[in-house]
Every structure is written in structure tokens, then in C-alpha cells.
């Protein structure tokens, strides 16, 4: 799991990347970036949160993360396979966020949503086919592949904007939404930078001039977990990286990652990762 503002690098000829994850389990804690992120579930199921909306996606269903959306996900099925397609809005001619001047009414393209909206289920097949075409072009990199990929992304985003229910942006509501997201983005960044310290919920809420009640409600609604579990996940991730580097003792790693004793570290690490710290060096 990672928790951060993510700044991604791209090849010079094409600001796009596509990844296929085929693992027994995987998860990404809440993160955000100015890029657009589209996720297709190829096999299994995936629990996905975007801003305050959480869904469990089934095979063939899609999540649409627009610029700046806070999102997290984890596999529910132990044999899940997902495609993650990330690109800069400039790829399709947007010089700011995508989509421009509107927001989709739903962040998830699911079978139930399509039926409720009277839209054909074949829409999911068309999206899957475009994902497959982009994946193949990016893997083979034949001459002029970047033109083919750009064309496919224009087709995909045009399909979304032509088909999916959307609402024009209300400036006042949008400003309120952006303010809430910006606050949460600042909190995520703060925890990523200070997880080594003895952070507490009251002190962190006070740092952002919020009551504990308001802080917890905002945190849970946008991140999908509570403050303590989220902080523990960040610390466990950092500890795993240090242990695998092999340069320090496990006790030293625990202290450097914000744990005050080795017993707590072992317990938390096992709860987050599903295996013990020492097993990484077995």
C-alpha cells in the first residue's frame, strides 16, 4: 500500500502508461494525482473508493478517476486481475483537468448502473476492447504506435463523455468539493512526510484546525479506513522497504518507522501485511 501525492513520469513520446496486475492480492491506499486513472477488472473483484463513493467491482466493470480524485483500492477476490491505465489530460487535448466543464454522475461503470440508466451492457465490452488495444500497442511499440494509442484514448474519452450521465459544474459546489479534497490531499501528504514521528489523532486534527469528530468523518469518507489503520499501513510499507534493503536490524527499522517497541511493530506489521517482518529475511 502507498499513500501519497503521486507524480508519475512518462516516456517522452507519450504521456500514458498501462499496467496489468495479476496477483493473489494487491492494494493501494488513498492517493491522488493530476493524471486520469482508469481501472478495468479483468478477473475477480476489486473494492474501489473514489472520493466518497465506494464500490465492489466485478469482472468487466470499470472505475473512472478524474484529475485530482482521491482513490484507493484492494482486491476482494484472491485471484483478481486488473488493468490500470493512467495518462495526462494533455494526451487528449485538455490543458487542465479532464473532463472539462462537467463531472460524471457516477465514478463507476457497472452493470447495475448501465441498467438503471438504460444504457447497453455492450458499452463495457467496447471499453474492454479499447483497453486491450492500448495494452497491445504499448507492449509491441510498432512504428507510429503513439498515434494509434492517442486515437484509442480519444475514442475512449469521447465514449465516456457522449454516453455516461454527467452534470455541468456548479461553481459553488465545485469550489466546496475541491476545498474538501484539497484538505484531504494535504492530510495525506502530511502523514507521508511525518509517519516516523509520534503522531496522534488529536494532534493531527489540531494541526489542520479541525475537531476530532470532523477530522475522523472526513478521513473515513475519503480514505476508506480510520486514521490509526492508515498510519500503520504507511509505516508497515516503509518498514518492509527498509527490511528488504538489508542494511539495518529489524529493531532499528521499527524505531525508524515510528513504532515505539518491537512487540507493537511485529503485531501491526503482521496485521497489515499478513506475514511477519522476520519472514522477509528468511
- Summarize pLDDT for 168-189 with one digit per residue, the tens: 877 777 777 777 778 887 898 8
Query: Which domain, by its residues, includes 230?
Result: 172-281
Same domain for 65 and 79, yes or no, is yes
* pLDDT for position 115: 96
* pLDDT for position 28: 78
* pLDDT for position 246: 78
* pLDDT for position 107: 93
Same domain for 164 and 196, yes or no, is no
Backbone angles phi, psi at 36, to 5 degrees: -90, 135
pLDDT digits (tens, 9 = 90+) for 80-137: 899 999 999 999 998 878 888 888 999 999 999 999 999 999 999 999 999 999 999 9
CB 239 within 8 A of CB 277: yes
Angle 227-245/171-194 helices, nearest 10 degrees? 50
- Cα separations (Å) of 276 from 27, 37, 66, 186? 18, 33, 37, 31
Among residues 199, 16, 177, the alpha carbon closest in space to that of 90 is found at: 16
Same domain for 54 and 190, yes or no, is no
Q: Write out residues in the chain with pLDDT < 50, as ranges.
A: 1-5
Place of cell 484546525: 209
CATH number of domain containing 245: 1.10.10.60
* pLDDT for position 7: 55
Place of cell 509505516: 235
Same domain for 64 and 190, yes or no, is no
Of 145, 168, 191, the domain-final residue: 168
Same domain for 99 and 217, yes or no, is no
Q: Give dist(CA 42, CA 16) in Å, integer.
A: 20
Same domain for 254 and 221, yes or no, is yes
Of 151, 168, 185, the domain-final residue: 168
Same domain for 36 and 151, yes or no, is yes
Of 117, 134, 168, the domain-final residue: 168
* pLDDT for position 4: 43
The string of DSSP codes covering 3-33 is: -EE------TT-SEEEEEEE-S--EEEEEE-
Same domain for 163 and 177, yes or no, is no
Question: What is the count of structural domains for the chain?
Answer: 2
Amino acid at each position: 500500500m502507498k499513500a501519497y501525492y503521486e507524480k508519475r513520469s512518462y516516456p517522452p513520446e507519450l504521456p500514458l502508461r498501462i499496467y496489468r496486475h495479476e496477483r493473489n492480492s494487491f492494494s493501494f491506499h488513498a492517493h491522488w494525482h493530476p493524471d486520469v486513472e482508469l481501472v478495468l477488472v479483468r478477473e475477480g473483484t476489486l473494492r474501489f473508493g473514489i472520493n466518497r463513493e465506494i464500490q465492489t467491482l466485478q469482472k468487466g466493470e470499470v472505475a473512472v478517476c478524474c484529475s485530482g480524485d482521491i482513490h484507493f483500492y484492494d482486491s476482494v477476490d484472491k485471484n483478481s486481475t486488473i488493468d490500470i491505465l493512467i495518462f495526462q489530460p494533455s494526451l487528449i487535448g485538455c490543458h487542465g483537468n479532464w473532463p472539462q466543464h462537467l463531472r460524471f454522475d457516477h465514478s463507476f461503470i457497472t452493470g447495475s448502473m448501465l441498467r438503471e440508466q438504460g444504457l447497453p451492457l455492450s458499452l463495457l465490452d467496447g471499453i474492454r476492447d479499447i483497453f486491450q488495444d492500448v495494452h497491445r500497442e504499448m507492449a509491441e511499440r510498432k512504428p507510429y504506435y503513439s498515434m494509434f494509442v492517442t486515437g484509442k484514448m480519444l475514442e475512449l474519452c469521447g465514449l465516456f463523455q457522449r454516453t455516461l450521465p454527467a452534470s455541468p459544474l456548479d461553481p459553488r459546489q465545485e469550489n466546496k468539493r475541491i476545498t474538501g479534497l484539497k484538505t484531504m490531499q494535504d492530510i495525506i501528504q502530511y502523514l507521508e512526510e511525518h509517519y516516523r514521528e509520534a503522531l496522534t489523532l488529536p494532534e493531527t486534527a489540531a494541526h489542520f484546525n479541525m475537531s476530532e469528530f470532523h477530522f475522523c468523518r472526513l478521513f473515513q469518507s475519503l480514505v476508506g479506513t480510520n486514521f490509526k489503520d492508515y498510519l500503520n499501513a504507511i509505516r508497515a510499507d516503509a518498514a518492509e522497504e527498509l527490511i528488504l534493503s538489508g542494511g539495518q536490524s529489524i529493531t532499528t527499522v521499527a524505531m525508524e518507522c515510528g513504532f515505539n517497541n518491537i512487540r507493537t511493530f511485529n503485531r501491526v506489521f503482521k496485521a497489515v501485511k499478513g506475514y511477519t517482518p522476520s519472514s522477509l529475511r528468511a
